[in-house]
Structure 1
Amino acid sequence: MYKSILVPIDLAETDVAKPAIAQAATLSQTFGATVRLLNVMPMTPVMLAEYVPADFDTQQLESSQAALAAVARDCGIDSTRVSSVVRQGGIYHEILEEASAIKADLIVMTSHRPAMRTYFLGSNAGHVVRYAKCSVLVVRP
């Protein structure tokens, strides 16, 4: 049923992502699907650019790649079926772009319990659910 599963992960809150990773691992084993772990780094604001080292973005990218690779190693998914990628930009936009790029047929992600501000502003999970061209499974921590 599923061949390609995308799992967006916030590296600042890897514990919150564990239920989504576990669900993706089960689905991967059941259907023989590949799993792509994704982390999206925010763009460095222009106003801060002069206060950070010239290679700040490169350092952040390398750090994120190493942390995501560690999550991939420890996630319980066969190493031949799991990969990881770090993208930079708007969170839900990059999730949707990566899903399209890998032809994902399922996105598995966690979402916080809704707070009053997310009812008015929306959440990344909400945007992904609304605009994804594939199925989305939202797992509550």
Structure 2
Amino acid sequence: MYRKILAPIDLCEAAMTQKGIAAALEIASTGKAQLRLVNVQWLTPFAFADYVPVDLEARLRDDLEAELVKLAEQMDYPKELVSTVLRFGVIYSEVLAEAEAWGADLIVVGSHRPIMSTYLLGSNAAAIARHAKCSVLVLRP
């Protein structure tokens, strides 16, 4: 079955995050696969650099990494098989980069129902599914 499952999570979407983690855990538990939670945050735009504290990204990184670790610790799964990573940049490209760098063979990603703007602009889940080099499971509400 799957050996390495990557679960991109949105810390601002609790319901979708829990659904994604539950699905990833169910799949991972069938073969004791490794599970990695990844969260991607946007970088502060250069135009706003003068208006934010100098250490904003470092403080943000510390807080978000702590949230990821807390989520991982709450999971009913062997702790040695769970890892977390925080990345900064464009969501779909960072998820794809993490999947390739880590050697994921499955990505479990949540997605909202498509709306007009998603049809015109595309969604992160669609871009991940379209460009991933491994299998992708897209979860809908």
- TM-score range normalised by the length of the shorter chain: over 0.9
| SS across alignment from 1:53 | coil
**Structure 1 residue 123 and structure 2 residue 141: aligned?**
no
Q: Are the aligned partners of 1:87 and 1:94 in contact in 2 as well (CA < 8 Å)?
A: yes
Task: State the TM-score, normalizing by the size of structure 2.
Answer: 0.97
Q: CA deviation at 1:15?
A: 2.0
| SS across alignment from 1:80 | helix
Partner of 1:42: 42
Structure 2 counterpart of 1:132, one-letter code: A
Q: CA deviation at 1:27?
A: 1.2
Q: Are the aligned partners of 1:28 and 1:77 in contact in 2 as well (CA < 8 Å)?
A: no
| Alignment partners' CA distance in 2, 1:7 and 1:77 | 14
What stretches of structure 2 of length at least 5 have no aligned partner? none
Partner of 2:54: 54
Q: How many residues align?
A: 141
Partner of 2:74: 74
Q: Are the aligned partners of 1:8 and 1:39 in contact in 2 as well (CA < 8 Å)?
A: yes
Partner of 1:20: 20
| Alignment partners' CA distance in 2, 1:36 and 1:88 | 16
Partner of 2:11: 11
**Structure 1 residue 103 and structure 2 residue 103: aligned?**
yes
What stretches of structure 1 of length at least 5 have no aligned partner? none
Task: State the TM-score, normalizing by the size of structure 1.
Answer: 0.97
| Alignment partners' CA distance in 2, 1:122 and 1:42 | 17
| SS across alignment from 2:80 | coil
| Alignment partners' CA distance in 2, 1:14 and 1:42 | 19
Structure 1 counterpart of 2:115, one-letter code: A
| Alignment partners' CA distance in 1, 2:77 and 2:121 | 35
